[in-house]
Chain A
Amino acid sequence: MKHPLPLIWRMIPEKYYIMGSHCSTCKNDFFPFRQICPNCRRLGKVSEKRMPTTGTIFSYTEVSAPPSGFEYESPYPLAIIELDNKVKILAQIIDCPMEKIKIGSRVSMRFRRVGDDDEESAISYGYKFALIEDSAPAPATSAKPEKHSKASKPTASKG
């Protein structure tokens, strides 16, 4: 799927740092970012807040009939993840076979290329999640954006 460059640029905080919002009136977190707290509306005081980068798989599926732009990675797992602040987020699960994905599995955020694109359009990056395994190193608590690089397409394109 092709996205216009200004859209990709605007989405950088959301897609790179899971930037959501926090309402200091009702103390709730929200993702995606909302200017208006749906609980408090005009009484809400909303500010930007990074969401936690670890969570638990709430539900999952394996997509075998992809939309255009995702053909090359099909079939791929998608999940709804309950982050550690209880906010839910939809993301791809990467770097693990389907049979290891279970409701309740612990996951942490990774920074990856998203979808396919042609040579002419900008590359989309964003969050994906990987299983936290006992043997694996401690999960990253934050993710810094990589520099946009066209040269990295073949290696970065999967997952």
Chain B
Amino acid sequence: MRGVSIIGGGLSKFGERWDKSFRDLVVEAGTAAVIDAGIEGREIQAIYGGCMSSGRLVGQEHVGALFADFLGLNPIPATRCEAACASGGVALRAGFLAVASGMYDVVAVGGVEKMTDFDSADVAIALGGAGDMEHELFFGATFPALYALMARRHMLEYGTTEEMMASAPVKNHKNAVHNPYAQYRNEITIDDVMNSGYIASPLKLLDCSPITDGAAAIILCASEKAKKFRKDPVEIIASSQASDTISLSNRHCMTELHATKVAAADAYKHAKLTPKDIDVAEVHDCFSIAEIMAIEDLGFFEKGKGGPASLEGLTALNSEVSINTSGGLKATGHPVGATGIKQAVEIMWQLQGRADKRQVNDAEIGMTHNVGGSGATAVVNIYKRL
């Protein structure tokens, strides 16, 4: 296995992109990544694209080939990767493995989702398929409901409060003010979250990430050749993935995502690092409680201490560990297939010192954490400037 680095990345604007189609978003992010990497299309040898629900929503399957076609990259191999909201994360890992193995020197990895054209009840059905369709969605269990069931246990077992949970979206909105790609660039208060109305108690509207259109792309290159393209490539020093039961009710513990813990332990081991070494992390805050659990499961805070840590501001920009400087899924938006790649783009910018007003001082080591479903897939990557 050889080293793999990111030599460029780009995003589409995230939000309600009614003027743009699924394929327009792919082209918007893909061209940004290629230009950022300073490469030419003919240098890309393969594509791995994350997308969850194009068939269910847009009616378009076979999107790997569509990516290659509309990026003008035929006839290179192009493969779609799907793992619900971790589709981008597993696509990134597929590209990582393809380069690490020596099969390719340069690959493009992307993610996309087109979600706002559709009725929210239909989107709830599409996203519900990330859980156990026959035993969760069948009985009307939406994704907010599954995370609400975890939140209720976390509140009981550790004394986590709704205000503690609310502090995560408040911090993420504050970060997103400085992210020109974010869907929501307005600050909110804990009272705003508390008064936003229940979606699935105890989770309220502003505890939940939104429905978003967007795409993200990065260019991966063998580390030994990466400096040929740019002076400051960002190396992926660990890429780990784990799985868990598709049904929430089959988990041994409902106040953690076991797949996150397994993937994180593996990533730390490969990178020979500990949680204390991480300066900046993009974690999967599909719901406020998900960020609280993530900062515990990734080892930044002890189990049960994530809520107080968040409320005390220990995850804010340039605090103990800067979490979700992009604005996270909550404020940047969560086009499910794109999220895992967007996280990598943000960490690349942070480690290169390109994050503008949301820059973490002296950021050296970064992490991304991408979750599929209610935790049945988790991908954890660790990054360092080459």
Contacts and interface: CB of A to CB of B under 8 A. Distances in A.
Contact of B145 (A1, A61, A89, A124): A61
A67 B125 contact: yes
A32 B152 CA distance: 23
Interface in B127-176: 128, 132, 134-142, 144-145, 148-150, 152-153, 156
Nearest to B149: A59
B128 A78 contact: no
Interface residues of B, number: 37
B66 interface: no
B249 interface: yes
B11 to A, nearest CB: 28
B140 A66 contact: yes
Interface residues on A, range: 35 or more
Contacts of A114: 138-140
A88 interface: yes
Interface in B268-323: none
Nearest to B153: A59
Contacts of A11: 134
A90 B121 contact: no
Contacts of B254: 58-59, 80
A92 B144 CA distance: 15
A47 B254 CA distance: 27
A32 B140 contact: no
A11 B211 CA distance: 32
A60 interface: yes
Contact of B149 (A64, A71, A78, A126): A78
Interface string B220-263: 00000000000000000000000000011110001000000000
A103 B141 CA distance: 18
B145 to A, nearest CB: 5
Contacts of B121: 66-68, 71
Interface stretch (B24-32, B42-50, B195-203): B195-203
A66 B156 contact: no
A114 B88 CA distance: 34
B97 interface: no
A114 B139 CA distance: 7
B248 to A, nearest CB: 7
A51 to B, nearest CB: 12
Contacts of B145: 61, 63, 78
**Residue of A7, A30, A66, A124 with highest tally of chain B CB at under 10 A:** A66
Contact of A67 (B142, B150, B248): B142
Contacts of A65: 120, 124, 142, 144, 199-200
Contacts of A68: 119, 121-122, 124-125
Given A60-B152, A78-B145, A80-B248, A126 B139 contact: yes
A90 B200 CA distance: 15
Contact of B200 (A1, A61, A89): A61
A1 B249 contact: no
A62 interface: yes
A1 B137 contact: yes
Nearest to A75: B198
B142 A63 contact: yes
B140 A78 contact: yes
A87 B148 CA distance: 20
A1 B125 contact: yes
Interface string B186-216: 0000000000011111110000000000000
Interface in B68-110: none
Nearest to B205: A65
- Residue among B122, B149, B202 with most chain A CB within 10 A: B149
A91 B152 contact: no
A124 to B, nearest CB: 7
Interface string A40-70: 0000000000000000001111111111111
Given A63-B145, A64-B201, A90-B136, 13 more contacts: A61-B149, A67-B121, A67-B125, A67-B140, A73-B140, A80-B248, A80-B249, A88-B250, A90-B141, A90-B149, A114-B138, A126-B139, A128-B139
Interface of A: 1, 3, 7, 11, 14, 30, 32, 58-71, 73, 75-76, 78-80, 88-92, 103, 114-115, 124, 126, 128
* Closest 10 pairs (CB-CB, A-B): A61-B148, A68-B121, A67-B124, A70-B140, A88-B249, A59-B149, A59-B152, A62-B201, A61-B200, A65-B199
29 contacts: A1-B125, A1-B138, A32-B247, A59-B153, A61-B148, A61-B149, A61-B200, A62-B198, A62-B200, A63-B145, A64-B201, A65-B144, A66-B124, A67-B137, A68-B124, A73-B140, A76-B140, A78-B140, A78-B141, A78-B145, A80-B149, A80-B249, A80-B254, A89-B135, A90-B136, A90-B139, A90-B149, A114-B138, A128-B139
